[in-house]
């Protein structure tokens, strides 16, 4: 094996190992020591679900076996025991690790499009649909009245063959 | 030798795809019949060559030919046969080959069974399909050749990622691709129609079966993937709003919208340009999904290719396909005249609402998936968009869609009677209210959101079944009359009932399992009992086990309920030989009302084992619902009107209604 090829293979293997080993990176499935108070523990778990595991791909620290995720879980429990509110805990962690750690991005200038986008799109789409729907009101055909010849012909065909085409 | 044959066949397929992509297109434009006639045989032969190529690669995998770089990187001689075969598409190059195989399969199907298509339209469709294929084939031969040799050949391969060595995941990619690539047919028909400058009911009649089939497969593919995540990742979750999951959800949402709007074109000759646009967007999202997953832009389990050159190629291809088709659309769409007029409250109106909500939901998923990438690229700022964002935006968009899905099918075309429809749904409304009240009263801790979710799911199931019962006049008249009506109800109507009820069942599964799940995480010692959701899990100990290519630690739990034995559950932790990697195999025991779910973790060194135990009520309804949705689609596909084929254009051109009654007569 030439050196180039070997180096290539090694780098590919390394890339695969990194990119493939994501959901359970060989790490242990452990169990944290929960807080003694079940209400506080429930709050801690809810906060865990809002925080990103920084060394994993798109997992919350609640879903991750990575060591860093465990450290963060412990940190969250510590802050809660110290009497922080949920918001204060999230602010504390975001202050340390940046907003990237928050799975629910805060609403500010950077995320304006992200948060307002869906509503804006819905309104634009609805506006477009209404414009389209307004047109036929002027149409005399829809002012009910008797069936057109064409419709009567179709009705006859349908009755004749006992078919339901809807 | 076989490998070289496969490589050569791939080159020949590329040459053929260029011929098929160019000659019939020009021929149809200039009226050269012989050039048009090229499309059919070439499409079939091209499929033949790609099949040879695929078979050659499969041979190399099954025979563990490690002189092929792709096999050496992704296979191992000790792997069970199933995973040797599924290893073919468990990597970047092979998955592209599978993609092209399906693409050419669809083209060949049009060539063989498209006898009732006008020759020019068929030729154009096959040409567009071939051009897409040419892009992928070129990409494979230039940048992702699965047949590249490795000299000297290693004695043993690197093995397949153990997470992928799983029956659920072995079949997940083929189903997903049948869906993704199936939408290429809708795309090719749309582009062909734009070139022709004509979209009519007959066109929609030809497109709908393809879209429907693609949608069914995609539904199954996504369901398989989420089922795999549920039992393999060991967290009991089934959907993580991971970018690669979103990449498959977007074409599904757009495809669902397309499925419904094509119906309006077929029956009412309206919404034509919107349907064309949606067909283009659906396939573009499939391509985007491939790009996101394969380019390494998003790294995850699915991202095989981390070579940026490949990403650039796919991106350029994407720009070419999407940009080209949208430009064509911009030029041609204003010329498309819509025929059917309708009142806001009508079947058409309901389908527009469906489209509005589904496409907005799709755009929301797209926004959430790409926003961090764009923000990072433009400003260098990093934000995460995770499940909380999608819960806050996606769910409010889908809720009204579910309400409307219950009513829509009862509205008449052109002008519907909302009060009348609701009157016919009295029973469904009563059931929904009763179930919601029962949930409030009997369920421990019933948050308002969860009760609304239960009401939504119940409503969709009850309304779908209620409509069906009403149509066949069950218990309303003599039984013979009911039977006659049931017999004459078109299969498509059965399909709608089944698929909509399936969606409702999936909603119930999602809401109930998420709200009333019981979870216990603890360290247990032999003999310990843990109560979970009314069941007792007693830890009996640990067993070592040896599988085909892994060592496993197997935990044994006796599960009892009120002292009666229910099951013995044996979750495993596996350590695979090559690559050396640990996976968790959850033990899952379905009961009629819930799944019991057990995971064994690591020893704590003092005789205790980390365990996770769950009781997940109705969680299996999620996949049952998804299967029902796909079954509904297939039942609808078997409708005589699809099988008989589209009406001839001659009659269709006279008017849509004439066309429809022709089909009814046929």
Give residue-wise pLDDT tens across range B396-440.
999 999 999 988 888 888 888 888 888 888 888 999 999 999 888
Answer yes or no: is B662 within a domain. Answer: no
Domain count for chain B: 4
pLDDT of residue A10: 42
Which residues on chain B are in Cβ contact (under 8 Å) with A15? 306
On whether residue B110 sits in a domain, the answer given is: yes
In whole angstroms, give the CA distance from residue B64 to residue B70.
Answer: 11
Please check the confidence at residue B127 and state whether its pLDDT lies above 50.
yes
A60 touches chain B (CB under 8 A): yes
Domain stops at, among B384, B405, B426: B405
Q: What percent of chain B has pLDDT over 70?
A: 93
B386 secondary structure, DSSP code: -
Q: Pick from A63, A100, A104: which is nearest to B388 by CB?
A: A104
Query: Once rounded to an integer, what is the mean pLDDT over residues B538-546?
Result: 89
pLDDT at B255 > cutoff 90: yes
What average pLDDT is seen over chain A? 71
- For residue B371, being part of any structural domain is answered with yes
Of the residues B405, B432, B448, the one at which a domain ends = B405
Which residues of chain B lie closer than 8 angstroms to A129, CB-CB? Answer: 352-353, 356
* Shared-domain flag, residues B488 and B606: no
A125 contacts B356? CB cut-off 8 A: yes
Res A147: pLDDT: 62
CB of A52 less than 8 A from some CB of B: yes
Using the beta-carbon criterion (under 8 Å), do B601 and A28 form an inter-chain contact?
A: yes
Binary contact (B655, A150; C-beta < 8 A): yes
Collect all residues of chain B within an 8 Å Cβ-Cβ radius of residue A113: 367, 371
Domain match, B255 and B145 both:
no
Average pLDDT of the segment spanning A54-68: 77
* Highest averaged pLDDT of the listed ranges B184-188, B294-298, B334-338: B184-188
Question: Are residues B411 and B400 part of one domain?
Answer: no
Q: Distance from B169 to chain A by nearest Cα, in Å?
A: 14
| Token digits of residue A71 | 């450290």
Lowest mean pLDDT among B79-83, B172-176, B302-306, B457-461: B302-306
Could you give the CA distance from residue B277 to residue B290 in angstroms, rounded to a whole number? 20
B652 assigned to some structural domain: no
pLDDT at B295: 60
* Nearest CA distance, A146 vs chain B (angstrom): 14
Domains and CATH numbers, chain A: 29-106 (1.10.8.640), 110-161 (no CATH)
The number of helices, as runs of H, and strands, as runs of E, in chain A is: 6, 0
Distance in angstroms (rounded) separating the CA atoms of residues A149 and A142: 15
| Chain A nearest C-alpha distance from B611 (Å) | 7
Burial of B114 (C-beta count, 10 Å sphere; 0-12/13-18/19+): buried
Residues of A in contact with B386 (CB under 8 A): 50, 52, 58, 60, 103-104
Interval A11-24: pLDDT, tens:
444 433 333 333 33
- Mutation target to probe the B interface, by most B beta carbons within 10 A, among A22, A39, A132, A159 is A22
What are B469-474's contacts with CB under 8 Å, separation 24+?
Answer: B469/B427, B470/B424
* Per-residue pLDDT, B665: 35
Q: Which of residues 520-549 of B touch A (CB under 8 A)?
A: 521-523
Mind telling me how many Å the CA of A68 is from chain B's nearest CA?
17
Residue A24 is nearest to which of B152, B363, B583, comparing CB atoms?
Answer: B583
- For residue A8, give the nearest of B141, B148, B54 by alpha carbon: B148
- Lowest average pLDDT, out of A51-65, B84-98, B256-270, B419-433, goes to A51-65
- The answer to whether B535 and B560 have CB atoms below 8 angstroms apart is yes
**Does an H or E element contain B564, and which?**
strand B564-569
Contact B386 A104 (CB under 8 A): yes
Residues in B closer than 8 angstroms to A135, CB to CB, are 341
Nearest-neighbour CA in chain B from A52: distance (Å): 8
The residues, ordered by sequence, that sit 6+ positions from B303 with a Cβ below 8 Å of its Cβ are A19, B244, B293, B294, B295, B296
Whether B527 and B602 map to the same domain: the answer is yes
Q: Using a cut of 0.80, tell me whether the model's pTM lies above it.
A: yes
Chain A partners of B343 at a C-beta cutoff of 8 Å? Answer: 136-137, 142
Q: Are residues B238 and B315 in the same domain?
A: yes
pLDDT confidence tier of residue B533, bands split at 50, 70 and 90:
confident
Per-residue pLDDT for A144 more than 80?
no
Nearest CA in chain B to A15: B306
Residues 589-608 of B with CB under 8 A from A: 599-602, 604
End position of a domain, from candidates B490, B514, B538: B514
Same domain? B146 vs B12: yes
Alpha carbons B467 and B13: distance in angstroms, whole number: 50
**Of B296 and B311, which is predicted with more confidence?**
B311
Say whether both B11 and B28 belong to one domain: yes
Q: Which residue of A has its CA nearest to B660?
A: A165
Report the gap between the CA of A124 and the closest CA in chain B (Å): 10
Residues contacting residue B48 through CB under 8 Å, at least 6 positions apart: none
For residue B649, being part of any structural domain is answered with no
C-beta atoms surrounding A68 within 10 Å: 14
For an interface test with A, give the residue of B225, B235, B347 to mutate (most A CBs within 10 A): B235
State residue A44's pLDDT score.
85
d(CA B616, CA B602) in angstroms, rounded, equals 23
Specify which of A135-144, B94-103, B143-152, B330-339 reaches the highest per-range mean pLDDT.
Answer: B94-103
CB < 8 Å to B235, chain A: 63
Q: Does residue B23 surpass a pLDDT of 90?
A: yes
Same-domain status, B60 and B147: yes
What is the distance in angstroms between the Cα of B664 and the nearest Cα belonging to chain A?
Answer: 7
Residue among A104, A121, A142 minimizing CB distance to B360: A121
Q: What pLDDT is attached to residue B302? A: 46
Interface test with A, best of B274, B381, B383, B524 (most A CBs within 10 A): B383
Q: Which of A2-6, B527-531, B650-654 has the lowest mean pLDDT?
A: B650-654
Q: Do B237 and A63 make contact, defined as CB atoms within 8 angstroms? A: yes
Determine the pLDDT at residue A1: 38
| DSSP character at residue B648 | P
* B124 vs B295: which has the higher pLDDT: B124
Report if residue B646 sits inside a domain. no
Q: Is A138's Cβ below 8 Å from some Cβ in B?
A: no
Burial class for B100, CB neighbours closer than 10 Å (0-12, 13-18, 19+): buried
- ipTM for this prediction: 0.81
User: What does the longest C-alpha to C-alpha distance in chain B come to?
Assistant: 83
pLDDT per residue as tens digits for the range B506-530: 999 999 998 888 888 888 888 888 9
Instruction: Say what the pLDDT of residue B101 is.
Output: 95
Same structural domain, B565 and B553: yes
Domain of B612, in residue numbers: 518-618
* pLDDT grade for B666, boundaries at 50, 70 and 90: very low
Judged against a pLDDT cut of 50, whether residue A85 lies above it is answered with yes
Is residue B651 assigned to a domain? no
Percent of chain B with pLDDT over 90: 38
The alpha-carbon gap from A51 to the nearest alpha carbon of chain B, in Å, equals 9
β-strand partners of B595: B590, B616
Residues B284 and B359 in one domain: yes
User: For residue A163, what pLDDT is reported?
Assistant: 45
Q: Look at the block and give the residue holding tokens 């290719």.
A: B305
Interface list for A 81-120 with B (CB within 8 A): 98-105, 110-111, 113-115, 117-118
B301 pLDDT band, cuts 50/70/90, is: very low
Q: With contacts defined as CB-CB under 8 Å, which chain A residues touch B583?
A: 24
Given a cut of 80, is residue B643 above it in pLDDT?
no
Chain A residue with minimal CA distance to B494?
A166
Interface touch B367/A114, C-beta < 8 Å: yes
Specify the pLDDT at position B660.
38
CA of A98 to nearest chain B CA: how many angstroms apart?
8
Residue-wise pLDDT tens digits, B194-232: 998 888 888 888 888 899 999 999 999 999 989 888 888
Task: Give the angle B417-B340-B328 at the CA atoms, nearest 5°.
Answer: 130
Where does residue B475 fall: left (phi above 0), alpha (psi -120 to 50 degrees), or beta otherwise? left
Q: Tell me, yes or no, whether B143 lies in a domain.
A: yes
Q: What percent of chain A has pLDDT over 90?
A: 6
Looking at residue B118, its pLDDT comes to: 87
Amino acid A89: pLDDT: 87
Which chain B residues are Cβ-neighbours of A57 within 8 angstroms?
A: 242, 299-301
Same domain membership, residue B382 and residue B244:
yes
Chain B 466-495, residues with CB within 8 Å of chain A CB atoms: 488-490, 493
Indicate yes or no: CB of B234 within 8 angstroms of CB of A24. yes
In chain B, residues with a C-beta closer than 8 Å to the C-beta of A19 are 296, 299-301, 303-304, 306
pLDDT band, residue B642 (cuts 50/70/90): low
B349 touching A (Cβ < 8 Å): yes
Q: What is the mean pLDDT of residues B166-195?
A: 90
Q: Is B147 exposed, middle or buried (0-12, 13-18, 19+ CB in 10 A)?
A: buried
Q: Is B539 found in the same domain as B484?
A: no
Interface test with B, best of A47, A106, A156, A165 (most B CBs within 10 A): A165
């Amino acid at each position: 094996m030439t050196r180039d090829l070997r180096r290539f293979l090694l780098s590919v293997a390394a890339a695969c190992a990194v990119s493939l080993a994501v959901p359970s990176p060989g790490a242990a499935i452990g169990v944290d020591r929960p807080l003694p108070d079940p209400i506080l523990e429930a709050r801690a778990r809810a906060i865990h679900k809002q925080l990103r595991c920084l060394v994993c791909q798109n997992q919350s620290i609640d879903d991750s076996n990575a060591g860093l995720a465990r450290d963060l879980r412990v940190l969250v429990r510590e802050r809660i025991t110290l009497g922080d509110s949920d918001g204060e805990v999230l602010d504390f962690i975001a202050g340390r690790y940046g907003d990237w750690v928050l799975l629910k991005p805060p609403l500010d200038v950077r995320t304006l499009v992200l948060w307002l986008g869906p509503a804006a799109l819905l309104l634009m789409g609805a506006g477009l649909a209404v414009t389209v729907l307004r047109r036929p009101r002027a149409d005399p055909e829809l002012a009910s009245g008797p069936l057109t010849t064409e419709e009567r012909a179709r009705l006859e065909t349908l009755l004749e063959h006992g078919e339901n085409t809807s | 030798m076989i490998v070289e044959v496969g490589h050569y066949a791939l080159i020949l397929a590329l040459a053929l795809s260029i011929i098929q992509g160019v000659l019939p297109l020009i021929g149809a434009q200039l009226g050269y019949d012989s050039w048009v006639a090229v499309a059919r045989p070439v499409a079939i032969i091209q499929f033949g060559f790609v099949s040879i190529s695929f078979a050659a690669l499969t041979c190399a995998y099954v025979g563990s030919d490690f002189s092929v770089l792709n096999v050496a990187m992704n296979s191992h001689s000790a792997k069970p046969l199933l995973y040797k075969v599924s290893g073919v598409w468990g990597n970047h190059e092979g998955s592209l080959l599978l993609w092209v195989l399906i693409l050419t399969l669809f083209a060949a199907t049009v060539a063989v069974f498209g006898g009732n298509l006008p020759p020019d339209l068929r030729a154009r469709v096959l040409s567009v399909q071939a051009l897409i294929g040419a892009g992928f084939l070129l990409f494979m031969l230039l940048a992702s050749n699965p047949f590249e040799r490795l000299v000297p050949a290693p004695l043993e391969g690197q093995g397949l990622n153990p997470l992928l060595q799983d029956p659920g995941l072995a079949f997940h990619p083929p189903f997903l691709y049948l869906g993704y690539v199936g939408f290429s047919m809708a795309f090719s028909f749309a582009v062909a129609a734009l070139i022709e400058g004509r979209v009519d009911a007959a066109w929609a009649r030809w497109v709908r079966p393809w879209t429907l089939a693609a949608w069914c497969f995609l539904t199954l593919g996504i369901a398989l993937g989420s089922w795999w995540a549920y039992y393999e990742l060991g967290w009991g979750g089934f959907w993580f709003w991971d970018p690669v999951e979103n990449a498959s959800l977007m074409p599904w949402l757009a495809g669902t919208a397309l499925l419904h709007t094509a119906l309006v074109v077929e029956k009412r000759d309206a919404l034509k340009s919107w349907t064309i646009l949606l067909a283009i967007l659906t396939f573009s999202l499939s391509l985007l999904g491939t790009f996101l997953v394969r380019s390494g832009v998003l790294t995850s389990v699915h991202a095989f290719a981390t070579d940026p050159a490949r990403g650039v190629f796919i991106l350029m291809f994407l720009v070419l396909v999407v940009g080209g088709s949208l430009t064509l659309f911009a030029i041609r769409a204003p010329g498309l005249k819509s025929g059917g007029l309708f009142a806001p409250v009508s079947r058409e109106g309901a389908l527009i609402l469906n489209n509005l909500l589904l496409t907005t939901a799709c755009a929301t998923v797209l926004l959430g998936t790409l926003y961090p990438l764009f923000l990072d690229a433009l400003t260098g700022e990093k934000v995460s968009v995770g499940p909380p964002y999608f819960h806050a935006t996606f769910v409010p968009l889908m809720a009204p869609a579910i309400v409307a899905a219950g009513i829509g099918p009862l509205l008449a075309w052109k002008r519907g009677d909302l009060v009348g429809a609701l009157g016919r749904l009295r029973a469904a409304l009563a059931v929904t209210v009763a179930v919601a009240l029962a949930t409030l009263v009997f369920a421990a801790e019933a948050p308002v959101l969860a009760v609304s979710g239960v009401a939504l799911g119940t409503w969709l199931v009850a309304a779908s079944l209620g409509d069906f019962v009403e149509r066949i006049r069950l218990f309303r008249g003599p039984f013979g009359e009911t039977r006659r009506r049931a017999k004459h109800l078109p299969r498509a109507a059965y399909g709608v009932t089944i698929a909509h009820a399936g969606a409702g069942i999936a909603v119930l599964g999602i809401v109930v399992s998420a709200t009333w799940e019981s979870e216990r995480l603890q360290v247990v010692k032999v003999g310990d009992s843990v109560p979970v959701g009314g069941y007792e899990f007693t830890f009996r100990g640990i067993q070592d086990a040896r599988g085909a290519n892994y060592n496993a630690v197997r935990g044994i739990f006796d599960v009892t309920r009120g002292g009666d034995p229910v099951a013995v559950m044996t979750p495993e932790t596996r350590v695979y030989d090559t690559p050396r990697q640990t996976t968790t195999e959850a033990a899952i025991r379905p009961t009629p009302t819930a799944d019991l779910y057990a995971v064994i973790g690591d020893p704590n060194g003092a005789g205790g084992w980390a365990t996770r135990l769950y009781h997940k009520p109705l969680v299996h309804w999620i996949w049952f619902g998804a299967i029902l949705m796909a079954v509904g689609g297939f039942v609808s596909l078997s409708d005589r009107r699809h099988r008989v084929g589209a009406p001839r254009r001659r009659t269709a051109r006279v008017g849509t209604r004439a066309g429809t009654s022709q089909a009814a007569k046929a």
